[in-house]
Amino acid sequence: MKKLGFPFALTVISGFLAVSLYQGVRTGSFLGVGTVLTGLLVGLILFALYVWLGTNKTPRFTLIGVATLLGLVAMWPPEEKLKLGIDLSGGTILVYQVKETGRGDYKIDDLIAALKRRINPEGVQDIPIRKVGNNRIEIILARATDEDVAELKRRITDVGSLEFRILANQKHDAAKIEQAMRPEGLAKPPRGYHWAKLGEIITGKNPRFDATHITDPTQSWIRDRYAGTQVTLTGKDVAGREKTVAVTIASNTADTLTLKEPHGLATITSYTIDFNPSKIQPGPSAIVRDQPRGNGVTDRYILVKLDRQNVTGEYLASVSQTQDERLQPAVRFVFKPIGGRKFGQLTRDHLPEEGGAFMYHLAILLDNLVMSAPVIKSEIRDEGVIEGVQPKEINHLILILRSGSLPASLDPTPLLEERVGPTLGKDTITKGIWAIGISMIIVPLFMIVYYRFAGVVAVVALVLNMILLVGSMGFIQATFTLPGLAGLALTIGMAVDANVLIFERMREEAERGASMAQQIRNGFSRAWTTILDSNVTTMLSGVVLYAVGTEEIKGFALTLIIGLIWNLFTAVYVSRVIFDLWYSQGWLKRLKMMKILDRTNIDFVGPRRYFMIGSAVVIALGLAAFFIRGRSLYNIDFTGGTLVTIQLDENAPEIKGQSEAARQAYVRQTASRVLPDASVESLNVGEERRGLRFNIRTTAENANKVKQQVLEAFQTSLARLEMTIGPGEPIPAEKPKAEAEAKETSSAQPADRFAGGYRYELTFNREVAPSKIRAELTRVLASHKIANPESRIEVVNPNARPNTPADAPTQTVVVRTNLDPDEAQKELKTLAANLRNNPDLLFERLENFGGAVAGETRALAAIAIVLSWAIMIAYLWVRFKSVSYGLAAVIALVHDVLIALGAVALSPYKIDLPMIAAFLTLIGFSVNDTIVIFDRIREIKGKSPYLTPEIVNAAVNQTLSRTILTSLTAWLVVVILYLFGGEGLQGFSFCLVVGFLSGTYSTIYIASPILIDWIGSTRAPAAQKPQMALREV
């Protein structure tokens, strides 16, 4: 039973951690009674599986085979399951206007943080979000399909504001209802009351259709808003008879309804959608009024009371999927304690009256839309259910509620939407991929050459590790950037650590004359404690990083935890199964291995003072460089900068006849000569003008200076804004319907002022904002002494759809004017000349943008890292029965981070998000090395209360071979990435080249000697000294 005690504790703890992490991802709550009980149950199941697999050989191979198969399925087909990042595959840029709240009570950085929680909660996707100007945000979605983009749009435009309100009723609110139903009552409801959205009725005529689709180009619907709602169709059947049918909507896009079944009509003259999620109908307990919105839409509102409890989504503790009383999908919510008290009071104040003959309705509002309105039958405190949600809407609603409401809302239609190419050049990507490929091969080759058969076993475990890790990342929809792929290569270099520990233990057993069976058994069992301590320490810190950190940190932590779990499974379990199989079949008689170091006897502790002083000097120099460089040390991810969009003239001599890649290289090289930290994105991917339009981003913040530098650098290659003037058409007394509808979306003046005038259609060679054309034409008229020029013209976008921002860029505008036709033509020709030569119009975008990582985000990331160090100290304190071990390990890893940070500050590289991942990787590497030596110290020391320099020296010498080997494999990977990976990997790999050297050094000369100064003894009692000094295991 004693042998099973440790596995029992491990499996139970593992079960708890797994369930806690799953619950954290799923509900946002990591702890709870349910989590603890479920974790214990999972742990017991894992323990039973451990015992069963330990006594039966066949299930072991079945488990390995099933795991491999699941990993392959999760990543296949790779072109669909494995998503490349923006740097490798490009993506879609979306720019949104932030709606004015009128209160000024939010920060745009808070909005960006909330959006990150909503669209990238696990932090494993490559979705940068930046502030643009003062009231816009830019989102870049990597290699997105149309469905991905549509889903993201919906996620970010739903505010997610959840409220619980009592419906007004005739019994208690008659006077207020009368006041609310007055003409002005919709805009100004009575004090203490509010009009919530009940739904909408949409009617349209003569839509396009087929058997299962209805299309109305005049509409601009929210994706899948009407799924599950019925549409009523009026038309004629195949026999020509008038007929009305009602069909359920399966899904909808911006202008098309997909029906669950064919409608059976030969013609359709009209359609009607009555959207009412709550199914509440007008009556004494549901006061409803309608308001036509235009374009065939009538909004329906219902009167609710604003009570003192004001129960909102901020009081939610968790949200999950459940079923309602009819076994239909529903959303379950659980309140925090204070929310439970408020909700309990709200329901207690509105219990049934008149013996149950009268009951209040509790309206559940999401973004002011009534999702459901059940009657209150009894007091409810801690939790509730939102019913009436369509199955395909469940996950969306849960995600919105978990992420919380947005502090401000976005305009539903983006100001800008377009495809961008990879942010890295083709040459950089090629170099990086080659370097990653070489580094992935070099470690397995080294293991096979050095450890022979054992090396082959390690490589098999590595291959399975990669399959499981990549499959897991595909399953959670993680994005693979170039540094991310380099991280996979680095995983190979670091994953062999456990194998090296086992193989070196097996070597020690062989040198003692143990049999082959004893070598296998003792090698794995004696290395297991060290492997467990190092992995659990790192895993616990990963859990803390995930629970507390920002989205960027969460992505790293989640990948780290998954990698560690699979590494334990492959390096320990799979390797042991292979060794047992080979030995049981008689194929393994003797293990042959190379040896780089014989038994050493170096005094590492003696000169520790000199090494500590040397480290302090190096750290001081690095910190001085860090503070001297200041803001200039940070990449555009942290500082923000200026964005300028240019379009090249395809006939310019610099690019004429060149490929798209060559044009991008020209832009990148030219921009880099005049702008600091310039990065380039190719626009119009997949379109005819690809390779001609580019975004240039730079850390320079003076937009005017950037404009001038770009003008000088690209003076002869920039495309000018060309304008074509259409023939003048007389404006009738009543303007055409299409233009009237377009006019509704603009801020222009009424068109009837121009009756008897002329309209001109202006076409441009690229998109331009109507406001820019209006402003320039106004200047032209003013320069020609035309009085009140603003009142003489009107500029609108004739192709604007409902909800299109008034100033959305377009390639066509219509100018209406009451000028004489000859004079109008003259002014428009002057406008065309001015547009071509106006430097301000050479750039589609010229604006400042913020960093992808806000200041508050950096602070939260730092807090998460410090807390992860605290959990390391706590775990090592428990395991080694002294807090000094934990403090020594953390001091060593802080030393390594500061050394690497100083090296970066002294180099030309800058800190970006991949380099942050490099620092976090370094922390894990450093603590692993340190724990290996600490475990050997504990083993040699035994139960003795004394820790002597001899014990520490013996531990370091005995593990020196392992320390060099594991450091060498990981270091070889990052050196290859640094030397051959190109600019895309140099900063990331440089940090790790220095950091790994420092990590190896600090393990030997910093962490272990510190123990002597804190808890060590100069010498042990004479009778015990020989035993401790000579003991070897």
pLDDT of res. 614: 93
pLDDT of res. 900: 94
pLDDT of res. 1017: 53
Query: Which DSSP state fits 215?
Result: E
> At residue 741, does pLDDT exceed 80?
no
Average pLDDT (991-1000) is 91
The answer to whether 96 and 527 have CB atoms below 8 angstroms apart is no
Between 246 and 394, residue with greater pLDDT: 246
Average pLDDT (505-511) is 89
Average pLDDT (515-532) is 89
Reading phi first (left if > 0) and then psi (alpha if -120 to 50, else beta), residue 190 is in beta
User: Given the DSSP bridges, would you call strands 230-236 and 213-215 parallel, antiparallel or unpaired?
Assistant: unpaired
Q: Which residue has the tokens 């209040």?
A: 360
**CA-to-CA dists, residue 295 to 221, 249, 258, angstroms:** 12, 20, 21
- Taking alpha carbons only, the member of 741, 761, 764 closest to residue 817 is 761
> At residue 29, does pLDDT exceed 60?
no
> At residue 424, does pLDDT exceed 60?
yes
- Letter for the amino acid at 111? L
Least trusted range by pLDDT, from 130-144, 204-218, 359-373: 130-144
User: Given the DSSP bridges, would you call strands 479-480 and 83-84 parallel, antiparallel or unpaired?
Assistant: parallel
pLDDT category at 134 given cuts 50, 70, 90 is confident
pLDDT of res. 747: 40
> At residue 563, does pLDDT exceed 60?
yes
Partnered with residue 98 across adjacent β-strands are: 410
> At residue 335, does pLDDT exceed 50?
yes
> At residue 302, does pLDDT exceed 90?
yes
Beta strands in 683-822 (DSSP E): 693-698, 723-725, 729-730, 758-768, 793-796, 810-817
- Taking alpha carbons only, the member of 825, 976, 824, 990 closest to residue 912 is 990
pLDDT of res. 639: 83
pLDDT of res. 90: 80
What residue segments make up the domains of the chain, in order of their start?
A: 1-56, 57-78+426-613+853-1030, 91-159+408-420, 162-391, 641-713, 723-841
- Letter for the amino acid at 859? A
pLDDT category at 65 given cuts 50, 70, 90 is confident
Cα dihedral across residues 610, 616, 620, 622: positive or negative: positive
Average pLDDT (273-283) is 90
d(CA 234, CA 364): 34
pLDDT per residue over 182-198, tens digit each?
989 998 999 999 999 99
pLDDT of res. 560: 80
> Is the whole model's pTM more than 0.85, yes or no?
no
pLDDT of res. 1030: 33
Average pLDDT (334-359) is 91
Residue length of the chain = 1033
The answer to whether 23 and 543 have CB atoms below 8 angstroms apart is no
pLDDT of res. 713: 92
Q: Prior bond to 77 cis, omega within 30?
A: yes
User: Who contacts 949 (Cβ-Cβ below 8 Å, separation ≥6)?
Assistant: 603, 605, 606, 1012, 1016, 1018
pLDDT of res. 856: 62
Which tokens belong to 965?
């080997």
pLDDT of res. 136: 86
Element (H, E) at 242: strand 242-252
Q: Prior bond to 78 cis, omega within 30?
A: no
- Helix (H/G/I), strand (E/B), else coil: 657: coil
pLDDT category at 145 given cuts 50, 70, 90 is confident
Three-class SS of 702-730? CHHHHHHHHHHHCCCCECCCCEEECCCEE
pLDDT per residue over 901-932, tens digit each?
999 999 988 888 888 888 888 887 888 888 88
Between 3 and 623, residue with greater pLDDT: 623
> At residue 267, does pLDDT exceed 90?
yes
Top-level CATH class of 91-159+408-420? alpha beta
d(CA 440, CA 977): 10
Least trusted range by pLDDT, from 33-47, 113-127, 523-537, 982-996: 33-47
pLDDT category at 745 given cuts 50, 70, 90 is very low
> At residue 74, does pLDDT exceed 90?
no
pLDDT per residue over 77-96, tens digit each?
877 778 888 888 888 888 88
> At residue 748, does pLDDT exceed 80?
no
Average pLDDT, the chain: 83
> At residue 12, does pLDDT exceed 70?
no
Phi and psi dihedrals of 387, rounded to 5? -100, 175
Average pLDDT (122-142) is 83
> At residue 363, does pLDDT exceed 80?
yes
pLDDT of res. 854: 59
Share of the chain above pLDDT 70, in %: 87
- Taking alpha carbons only, the member of 87, 85, 95, 97 closest to residue 144 is 85
> At residue 1025, does pLDDT exceed 50?
no
pLDDT category at 394 given cuts 50, 70, 90 is confident
pLDDT category at 256 given cuts 50, 70, 90 is very high
pLDDT per residue over 579-634, tens digit each?
988 988 888 888 888 887 777 888 888 888 899 999 999 999 999 999 999 888 88
d(CA 160, CA 399): 9
Average pLDDT (228-235) is 94
Q: Evaluate whether the domain defined by 641-713 bears CATH number 3.30.1340.
A: yes
Which tokens belong to 211?
């058997």
